[in-house]
Amino acid sequence: MDGSSDTTQEWGPFGRPLFDDPSARALSRVGVVDVGSNSVRLVVFDGAARSPAYFYNEKIMCALGAGLSETGRLNPEGRERALSAIRRFQEVARQICHGELTAVATAAVREASDGPDFCEEVLRETGLKIHVIDGAEEARLSAQGVLLGWPGSYGLVCDIGGSSMELAEIDRDSVGKRVTSALGPLKLKDVKGGKKGRRAYINTVLDQLKDEMGSQRNRLFLVGGSWRAIARIDMERRGYPLRVLHEYRMSAKAINATAQYIKDNDLEELRLRCGVSSSRMSLVPYAIDVLKGVVRRFKPHDIAVSSYGIREGMLYEQMPDRLRRRDPLIESCRFAEVKDARLPGFGKALYQFIQPLFKSADEERRRLIKAACLLHDVSWRAHPDYRAEVCFDNATRANLGGMRHSERVFLGLALLHRYRNKREGTRFEDMFDLLDEKQLKQAEVLGKALRFGAMLWLDSSADMGELVWRPKKRELQLTLPPSAAALYGEVAEARFQSLVDALEATGSVTVLK
């Protein structure tokens, strides 16, 4: 990468360390401009250091790479639009960022004969230096972006842009082999020979990529706007209830069915139903042919959509190992508690109090229980009549990494029960189908445990008492210290009984003297 000194190179395009302290919990408004072949985007990251959130996110579809195969130059109209967008982004960043913007450019700018001239023009007009990355680096950063959202993952990352497509293998916390290709939809539009010629070209390139990458039968992670558009169409075809693209799962069979669905439908009508931009939709027929070919050759055991890519990979690049090892879900929830809860720190005490109810829970379930405890009070500012719905919306639609869709619904349902005894009659009932009966019951028990525990509201260091759960005898015993006795009033008693009923148990209460 470019850099004026060894120190600048050490910190990559940012030119400065973002995580001076490995124990840091927060990241403060770091802005990144991604100059792609199809779009130019500004993202400003903020929030939990291990799980940065989008404080600001704006995209302009510039199609810089349109016609590049024929002319060897950037699309003139796209170039003007990109420059205009970057001028705006610089002004936005000046007002909201806590440091200078960082910009990276990918396939179109690195391949175009006038790419260097464009970078010079941007620097001259806006003062922003664009770091042009090569294909292998693009693949590596995309793979690291996936690792930011899925710590410890393994499989094949497939990142499609407008002018290129990259593959990279990941194994736990490292990136292995990686390759780049010219299989971006904007490039494919210029392939001679119509559909037959284009498919022959796709097959030839994919065969070469398969030879280079070898067998990759694990999970396939999809990064890029064209893949996300296809996933949104797959959701429409299935009538899928949760419209969150990150962690959305598909199968090879689903990809083939969606390819046929795209072929059978009018693209404009489909675009309007799915909320896809016209410029993106025009690329979908090319992208779906590539995706079918990737799936056919690599035969992944499942396919997951990632909203994280190059920009997140740039942040992950700088994270010290100590920070990388943290759970992104728990870090996000801890940050939310500190920022929004009435009594930050109480979530930990609440977790310790209700833990006896979940002694048999595995590690995946325990982290959701911990997340629910941290989030149990962050929506208190919502109107009481809508708190349950706000909680569910926050959990299922928030920018939270490291969660499957079913886990989002589980967490949302637990928080809904934190404020509401019954889940029937809500507008979310179609999403409950993502959970089985056992999971629905577990979420209800967790929510009612939170609802009761919150009644013993003292402070994060006070003695809340003790729960003893005997699952074989279906007995729940509550022991309260003298300091908490007065808190066990009529409402608390009713909520304790609701928890007992959810457990299908009998309950008893002892107040120590």
Q: What's the CATH code of the domain at 443?
A: 1.10.3210.10
Contact present, 32 and 93 (Cβ < 8 Å)? no
Closest C-alpha among 162, 184, 35, 180 to residue 104: 35
Q: Say if residue 122 is in the same domain as residue 140.
A: no
Q: Residue 442: what pLDDT? A: 97
Max Cα distance, the chain (Å): 88
How many domains are there within the chain?
A: 3
Q: Residue 22: what pLDDT? A: 65
Give backbone dihedrals phi and psi of 178, rounded to 5 degrees, phi first. -150, 145
> Which of 85, 102, 133 is the last residue before a domain boundary?
133
- CATH code of the domain in which 78 resides: 3.30.420.40
Runs of H (alpha helix) within 282-429: 284-298, 310-318, 321-324, 328-340, 346-354, 363-375, 387-397, 405-419
Q: Residue 6: what pLDDT? A: 39
Q: Say if residue 367 is in the same domain as residue 454.
A: yes
Q: Say if residue 31 is in the same domain as residue 96.
A: yes
Q: Residue 303: what pLDDT? A: 97
Q: Say if residue 75 is in the same domain as residue 196.
A: no
Q: Residue 92: what pLDDT? A: 95
Q: Residue 10: what pLDDT? A: 62
Instruction: Tell whether 316 is covered by a domain.
Output: no
Q: Say if residue 295 is in the same domain as residue 209.
A: yes
Q: Say if residue 176 is in the same domain as residue 274.
A: yes
Q: Say if residue 434 is in the same domain as residue 493.
A: yes
Task: Answer yes or no: pTM beyond 0.85.
Answer: yes
CB-based burial, 197-233: b 16+ in 10 Å, e otherwise: ebbebbeebbeebbeebeebebbbbbbbbbbbbbbbb
Across 381-474, the runs of DSSP E, i.e. the strands, are 466-470
Q: Residue 217: what pLDDT? A: 82
**Residue range(s) defining the domain that contains residue 351:** 328-511
Closest C-alpha among 343, 382, 346 to residue 394: 382
pLDDT in tens, 162-199: 999 999 999 988 999 999 999 999 999 989 999 999 99
Instruction: Tell whether 322 is covered by a domain.
Output: no
Q: Say if residue 353 is in the same domain as residue 451.
A: yes
DSSP 323-347: HHTS-HHHHHHHHHHHHH-SSTTHH
Q: Residue 216: what pLDDT? A: 85
Q: Residue 380: what pLDDT? A: 93
How far apart are the C-alpha atoms of 270 and 261, rounded to whole Å? 10
Q: Say if residue 346 is in the same domain as residue 215.
A: no
Instruction: Tell whether 219 is covered by a domain.
Output: yes
- CATH code of the domain in which 163 resides: 3.30.420.150
Q: Residue 278: what pLDDT? A: 93
Instruction: Tell whether 378 is covered by a domain.
Output: yes
Q: Residue 346: what pLDDT? A: 93
Cα→Cα distances 286→195, 266, 267, 268, Å: 9, 15, 13, 16
Q: Say if residue 122 is in the same domain as residue 189.
A: no
Q: Residue 19: what pLDDT? A: 77
Instruction: Tell whether 323 is covered by a domain.
Output: no
Tell me the CA end-to-end span of the chain in Å, nearest whole number: 69
Q: Say if residue 263 is in the same domain as residue 388.
A: no
> Which of 100, 133, 166 is the last residue before a domain boundary?
133
How far apart are the C-alpha atoms of 403 and 216, rounded to whole Å? 23
> Which of 73, 104, 133 is the last residue before a domain boundary?
133
Instruction: Tell whether 468 is covered by a domain.
Output: yes
Indicate the pairing of strand 165-171 with strand 174-181. Answer: antiparallel
Intervals of the chain under pLDDT 70 = 1-11, 20, 22, 458-460
Q: Say if residue 283 is in the same domain as residue 379.
A: no
